[in-house]
């Protein structure tokens, strides 16, 4: 998992401010971006649990470093910050499932 964590952190650092704004400004774009990353993870052989843990890392980053750009992101951030670790993990699974369908 450390290798995956390192790759996720590296990718988050490499996103340009313009790309970050583009992805986060519209919730549909955010879901599409997350869906592409989940699909990529599946092609690399990541199972549901590793995908959820990766989504957890991204959500933690977003909650700590980004302001919500729309009402959907605001709701996700509030849910994330109000939940304990188990609830955040469950929400990560739900986010992965949401973008897969």
Residue positions counted in the chain: 101
Domain that holds residue 46: 2-100
Tens-digit pLDDT string for the chain (101 aa): 557 777 777 888 788 889 888 889 999 999 999 999 899 999 989 999 999 999 999 999 899 989 999 999 999 999 999 999 999 999 999 999 999 97
> What is the tens place of the pLDDT at every residue in 53-71?
999 999 998 999 899 999 9
Helix segments in the chain, DSSP class H: 2-14, 17-25, 27-43, 48-65, 71-82, 85-100
Q: What is the CATH number of the domain that holds 41?
A: 1.10.760.20
Asked if residues 24 and 30 have their Cβ atoms less than 8 Å apart, the reply is yes
Number of folded domains that form the chain: 1
What is the C-alpha to C-alpha distance for residues 45 and 66, in angstroms, rounded to an integer? 29
């Amino acid at each position: 998992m450390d290798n995956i964590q390192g790759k996720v952190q590296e990718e988050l650092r490499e996103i340009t401010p313009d790309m970050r704004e583009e992805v986060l400004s519209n919730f549909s774009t955010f879901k599409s971006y997350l869906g592409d990353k989940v699909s990529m993870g599946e092609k690399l052989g990541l199972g549901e649990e590793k995908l959820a843990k990766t989504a957890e890392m991204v959500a933690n980053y977003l909650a700590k470093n980004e302001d919500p750009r729309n009402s959907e992101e605001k709701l996700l951030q509030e849910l994330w910050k109000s939940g304990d670790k188990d609830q955040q993990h469950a929400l990560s699974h739900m986010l992965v499932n949401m973008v897969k369908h």
